[in-house]
Amino acid sequence: MGPLNGYTVIELAGIGPAPMGGMILADMGAEVIRIDRVAGASQLAMKDVSARGKKSVVINLKDSGGIETLLRMLENADVLIDPFRPGVCEKLGIGPDVCLARNPKLVFARMTGWGQDGPLARAAGHDINYISLTGALYAMGRKGEKPVPPLNLVGDMGGGGMLLVNGVLAALLETTNSGRGQVIDAAMVDGAAQLMWMFHGLHDIGMWDATRRESNLLDGGAHFYDTYECSDGEYVSIGSIEPQFYALLKQHAELSEEDFGDQNNAEKWPEMKAKLEAVFKQKSQAQWCDIMEGTDVCFAPVLSFVDAPAHPANVARQTYIDVDGLTQPAPAPRFSRTPSGVAHAGPRAGQDSDTVLAAMGFGESEIAALKQSGAIA
């Protein structure tokens, strides 16, 4: 059932953070109805993890009948997720003013890269650009080498999808008190900036050099917080920051006090890292797991996302699930009384048009007429 059972979310089809946000809301029990396009509907949606648990209605948003259909649906909805660039919904005739006039309690959640205003608002962009402008990308990579994109996790997903969900949940809570909806401006550049909060504080007190990569505590500069290659070519990760954890690292890796005793002397980090690299290459990843995994060394093998579901810890916690033959992350977080879940895999584009519209008060003849006119499919 999930904690959001009873809420209805209309998600205009998009890519990246908007469908991720819709997926999380669907996992939590909301009825998420994706509005797919008439043209370009693809069977690839069947393998789109973010489409899980959602329903699909195909509406032609360039048709006046399609626009009116969507507005009528919004009268029965709690949230609209807008994944378009600023101004697109207004041009279509479904901007916030129009939608809130039809449903004053509607949460109109807008997900963009650069935000709804500012000099870059209408420019194209991707994750790599948003994290470039916030200092996140600059900080990632090896010393003397170019910055390394962290997939699209920081801008799109962490700075975008998670921020979107956070805004929607907060707005829904506020609506229960005020009885009024509002517009959410969720920008990936804002979210990426928020994710960098800690480094601003560390820099201010002199504990982080923002001008250099691989020179600080958490960017691979410290020998006790990095990845190391093993004898079999696989890797392990070490995060032995606290003194008691570092002591265990020295114990389990049989590191001498003479070579590794001065843990926080940054000038010695490169030397100690070179020595630690030699140590980890003496054993395979599996051997190091036997020695360190489950201890307070703060250790883990570096796994591919294909191998991760088979790790015993992930199996025990059921961190991954199988939905129609596709292995994917399980819903999170976990609720004790109203657990989240995945009702079904991603729908075929338009497969729920008739049932969704009928449930929202459209008669059979109306639905047939809308199909005949090309407003829906």
- Residues recognised as catalytic: 126, 156
Separation between Cα atoms, residue 144 and residue 234, nearest integer Å = 24
Separation between Cα atoms, residue 342 and residue 361, nearest integer Å = 26
Hunting for tokens 């997720």 — which residue is that? 81
Separation between Cα atoms, residue 292 and residue 228, nearest integer Å = 14
Separation between Cα atoms, residue 296 and residue 244, nearest integer Å = 8
Amino acid, single-letter form, for residue 291: I
Separation between Cα atoms, residue 87 and residue 375, nearest integer Å = 22
Using alpha carbons, select from 37, 7, 77 the residue that is nearest to residue 350.
37
Structure tokens at 158: 């962490």
**Which residues does residue 321 pair with via DSSP β-bridges, in sequence order?**
328
Separation between Cα atoms, residue 51 and residue 247, nearest integer Å = 46
In contact, 54 and 33? CB cutoff 8 Å? yes
Neighbours of 334 (CB within 10 A): 10
Amino acid, single-letter form, for residue 236: V
